[in-house]
Structure 1
Amino acid sequence: MSELVVVGFDNPQDADRVLTELIRMKKEYLIDLEDAVVAIRDTGGVIRIKQSVNLVSLGAAGGGLRGAMWGSLIGLLFLNPLAGLAIGGAVGAGSGALSGGMMDYGINDDFIKSIGDTLKPDTSALFLLIRKSQPEKVLAELSGFKGHVIRSSLSPEQEAKLQAALSKAHPPSPSEGVEAASAVAAQPT
């Protein structure tokens, strides 16, 4: 069963940054995301929603393959399988794109909009539907980002661990950056 997690951030860029990190972790098999959505509320109060799964292209691809298969089979009946393949593929891709645009996959759009309406201006939120993960490794990677859990279906213990990891983050002060750079430069190579 998938777990839903919604994390809020105090600036509009962090939700995108965390999603980029999670996608990198997905490639390393540390997390398996079913769906991920970024909601950003700009300074004017307008909410932008970025879906990670493009349903129109997904529907067009699947519809095109099914249409090409059925078109070539029907084309065989009329002794013109190439025409059936081309026509069936085009019709299937068009109908697949149309159905993909109307489909709601993963996290409910109304839920995303309702949480997005509660965001303060110039902030963002990341909505995640997680199939499975390596919690310790994922939390260690996310501890560099400062955020707060808005909603989750995690157990209270897991949610507390996530909140603790997101609370640890603090941006380095300019003096810390200079000290770290001078320490690295002082090390012998």
Structure 2
Amino acid sequence: MSDLVFIAFPDEKKAEEVRQRVLGLQREYLIEIGDAVVVVKDADGRIKLNQLINSTAMGAASGALWGTLIGFIFLMPLVGAAVGAASGALGGKLTDVGIDDNFMKDAASALLPGTAGLFLLIRKMTTDKVLADLKGIGGTVMRTSLDEKAEQALRDAISAHVATADPGETPAAT
């Protein structure tokens, strides 16, 4: 079973930074992500979704390839590519992979104008290691499908203050 997490951030840059960090954790096999979408609410209140996978473009590319191959059979590869790309793009546009776009737009309406959020569809994770890596990233947990204990652990981790050394200080000799 997958868990859904929605974290709000002060700007798009921070949300994208955290998404890249989570994707890095996925490369280390500490978390398995089904989808990771950055949502931005601009100053006018419009909501934009920055998805990892552009299903329309993928559908068009796949359709063009298959259309060309089928077009070769009928000695019309360009016509086949054009028809295949159009039908593939339409199919890709109608296909929604991962988190439902309408749900994300509804949830993102709670964001303040000029802020951003990160939706994560988590399939599996090594909780203690992921939370340790995300410690102090900032942000506000808006919604989750985690149980109360796991949600509180996530809230504590992202809001935890990470101690940083003062640049003017020199480490004490031991």
Give TM-score scaled by structure 2 length. 0.83
Secondary structure in structure 1 of the residue aligned to 2:45: coil
1:24 aligns with 2:24: yes
Shift of 1:87: 4.4
Q: Distance in 2 between matches of 1:67 and 1:31?
A: 37
Contact conserved, 2:9 with 2:117, CA < 8 A, in 1? yes
Aligned to 2:101: 109
Is 2:66–2:84's contact at 8 Å kept on the other side of the alignment?
yes
* Percent of residue pairs identical: 40
Q: Using the alignment, how far apart are the partners of 1:95 and 1:131 within structure 2?
A: 31
Runs (4 or more) in structure 1 with deviation over 6 Å come to none
Identify the residue that residue 178 of structure 1 maps to in structure 2: 167
Q: Is residue 6–residue 125 contact of structure 1 (8 Å, CA) maintained in 2?
A: yes
CA distance in 2, matches of 1:115, 1:178: 40
Is the helix fraction higher in 1 or 2? 1
**Offset of 1:129 from its aligned partner?**
0.9
Q: 1:89 to 1:44 in 2, by over 3 A?
A: closer
Aligned to 1:54: 54
From 78, 82, 91, the equivalent of 1:99 is: 91
Q: Tell me, what secondary structure is at the counterpart of 1:145? A: coil
**Alpha-carbon distance change, 132 to 71 in structure 1, aligned in 2, over 3 angstroms:** farther
1:120 aligns to what?
A: 112
Deviations 1:32-85 (CA, angstroms, capped at 9, x unpaired): 21111111223443333211111112212332344345445xx1xx6xxxx355
Change (3 A) 1:84 1:133: farther
| More off after superposition, 85-94 vs 25-34 | 85-94
Change (3 A) 1:43 1:87: closer
Aligned residue pairs total: 173
Give RMSD over aligned pairs. Answer: 2.5
Structure 2: how far apart are the matches of 1:4 and 1:15? Answer: 16
Q: Counterparts of 1:143 and 1:152 in 2: how far apart (Å)?
A: 17
Structure 2 letter corresponding to 1:2: S
CA contact under 8 A between 2:42 and 2:114: conserved in structure 1?
yes
Partners of 1:16 and 1:178 in 2: CA distance: 27
Question: Letter of the aligned partner of 2:9 in structure 1?
Answer: F
Residue of structure 2 equivalent to 1:2? 2
For each residue in 1:96-144, what CA deviation from the matched residue of structure 2 results, as whole angstroms up to 9, or x when unmatched? 1122123222111111111111111232211111121221221111113
